[in-house]
Amino acid sequence: MSAPLSPRTVGPFSVKAIGLGCMNLSHAYLPRPAPEQAERLLLHALDSGVDFFDTAALYGFGANEALLGRTIMHRRDDFTLASKCVLGGKDGQRGIDGSPSAIAATLDASLQRLNVDHIDLYYLHRLDPNVPIEDSVGALSRAVEAGKIGAIGLSEMSAATLRRAHAVHPIAAMQTEYSPWTRNAEVAVLDACGELGVAFVAFSPVARGVLAGGVGPDGVAEGDIRAVMPRFQPPHLAANLALVSAFGQIAADAGCTMAQLSLGWVLSRRPYVVAIPGTTSIAHLDEDMATLTCDFSADTLAAVDALFTFEAVSGPRYPRAAQAQVDTETWDGEPLE
């Protein structure tokens, strides 16, 4: 395969095939960087040509948007900005509210934190089961008309929900977890995106760090979001690390890093896929972006495909409570807690 195509299209925007997911600068993953470290990474990303930054109202309960707002908005013309609503926090507790009034209020707060009057791409972070998707998308369509957002996205939703949403207003992007070890998107929504002309934005494209060599046999620290995910717990972790070892050998034979191979595989799946790995390390960011100059053979990509079949990874993707908050398809026989 030749180097991944760049730029790629996300609605009306043209972006590099690899952007930056900003969540772990403020939320969920440990260790969390000091503010000045996070600011340096964001500025380095801009200087390195990253032109797609992804945040959300949830991340740090607003702290991540505020971080971007004070750090990079003086160069607003250099990048496409994405954020999200519906999934948020109140009094330190996570919750879902997809009502039009909540969406409008969250958007206004996001604009203020980000220090902008317009967000390029604004996602519904999750499907609120108590609110018809048509109502939630309708609220965002009015925000488009008001000039507050440029395009509408969905996150962790099914092909059926995408079609319903797209009938109300054109959807620019579907963001869902996608990597060699999480392939649920291939059940239906990835192809639906192609049919409808919707970009597919892959979050956690290096499998929450495990396909970048970032997780060992001791797992992750208590308080890290991955600590409650079954795949990172015994007995699943040991079986999954055996897969990672085999994956590492494929990467070594290909002359690239594991992170680059994982990103390259994700980007090879469809020409409308964009990956948004997250990191707190400038060195890792540079490694990720260097994937755009890598060349992966068809045999190398096929070896990854054969290693990470749907059934190969041990354990559910999410614990029960988190699984209940996503609308993505599951594959036949998928283990669910």
**Active-site entry in 29, 59, 122, 123:** 59
Instruction: Kindly state whether residue 319 falls inside one of the protein's structural domains.
Output: no
| Claim: this prediction has a pTM higher than 0.75 | yes
Residue 276 near residue 19 (C-beta atoms within 8 A)? yes
Does the residue 337 lie in any domain?
Answer: no
Task: Pick out the chain residues at pLDDT < 70.
Answer: 1-5, 90-92, 337
The whole-number pLDDT of residue 92 equals 66
In a domain, 332, yes or no: no
CATH assignment of the domain containing 182: 3.20.20.100
Is 218 inside a domain boundary? no
Domain assignment of residue 15, yes or no? yes
The whole domain housing 33 covers: 8-210+259-295
Question: Is residue 123 annotated as part of the catalytic site, yes or no?
Answer: no
Q: What is the pLDDT of residue 41?
A: 98
- How many whole angstroms separate alpha carbon 161 and alpha carbon 34? 38
pLDDT of residue 321: 87
Handedness of CA 130, 132, 133, 135 (dihedral sign): negative
Asked if 68 contacts 114 with a C-beta cutoff of 8 angstroms, the reply is: yes
Parallel/antiparallel/unpaired status of strands 93-96 and 87-90: antiparallel
Q: Give pLDDT, residue 91.
A: 65
Q: Please state, in angstroms and rounded to a whole number, the distance separating the CA atoms of residues 92 and 214.
A: 28
Half-sphere exposure of 75 (CA within 13 A, CB side): 16
DSSP 118-157: -EEEEEE-S--TTS-HHHHHHHHHHHHHTTSEEEEEEES-
**Domain count along the chain:** 1
Amino acid 3: pLDDT: 46
Angle at 92 between CA 133 and CA 30, to 5 degrees: 100
Q: Which tens digits make up the pLDDT trace of 259-298?
A: 999 999 999 999 999 999 999 999 999 999 999 999 999 9
- By three-state DSSP, how is residue 82 classified? strand
Q: What is the pLDDT of residue 90?
A: 66
- Rounded Cα distance between 150 and 249, Å, is 43
**Inside any domain, residue 331:** no
Q: Which pLDDT does position 93 carry in this prediction?
A: 73
Please state, in angstroms and rounded to a whole number, the distance separating the CA atoms of residues 197 and 202.
Answer: 16
C-beta atoms surrounding 24 within 10 Å: 23
